[in-house]
Amino acid sequence: MSGLFRSVLRAVQVGAATCRPKNFDAHVSVVPARLFCASAGENDLGEMVKKDKVVVFMKGTPAQPMCGFSNAVVQILRMHGVENYASYNVLEDQDLRQGVKTFSNWPTIPQVFFNGEFVGGCDILLQMHQNGDLVEELKKLGIRSALLDVEKDEKSK
């Protein structure tokens, strides 16, 4: 996130400290600021998801996931030997938490991106893992799945 984005948001939040987000929308004077924030946020996210081959927005960190679904994504990637990916903890940043949902038009966290493209959430990654698509998608990224190196009967787990 750019410093500008953050500081603008901070300013807006301070001004609306007593308002809940819903009332916030109705407050005409802050609307231009919100619009500006939204577009700045999207630009940032556009950069964030492209910066690394594999990007995960999750609750907690890969070392300490804070939700079962985020944990599942981490475990699936680990099984494929994908350790080197960018992860963003949405619990640490409420603007990011909402921003990424808007950005990808997807209502839940975790969210996985490959080469800047939205792949899906936990269920999709799990099903891609189960039907073998994940190995293929990783190959397109130039990542060899570690599962290719283990026995075939292990793979069907």
Q: Site residues (CB under 8 A) for another protein?
A: 67-69, 105-108, 118-124, 127-128
Q: How far is the CB of 108 from another protein (least distance, A)?
A: 6
Decide whether 40 or 54 has the Cβ nearer to another protein.
54
Q: How far is the CB of 23 from another protein (least distance, A)?
A: 16
User: How many DSSP H helices and E strands does the chain contain?
Assistant: 8, 4
Q: How far is the CB of 14 from another protein (least distance, A)?
A: 26
Segment (H or E) for 120: strand 117-120
Decide whether 32 or 107 has the Cβ nearer to another protein.
107
Decide whether 40 or 74 has the Cβ nearer to another protein.
74
Q: How far is the CB of 92 from another protein (least distance, A)?
A: 17
Distance CA 80, CA 122 (A): 15
Decide whether 40 or 104 has the Cβ nearer to another protein.
104
Decide whether 80 or 129 has the Cβ nearer to another protein.
129
Residues 6+ apart with CB under 8 A from 23: none
Classify residue 57 by burial, with Cβ atoms within 10 Å: 0-12, 13-18, 19+.
buried
- Count Cβ atoms below 10 Å from residue 4 Cβ, excluding itself: 11
Q: How far is the CB of 68 from another protein (least distance, A)?
A: 5
Q: What ranges in 16-121 are assigned the alpha helix state H?
A: 21-26, 31-51, 68-79, 94-104
Lookup: tokens for 119: 């792949």
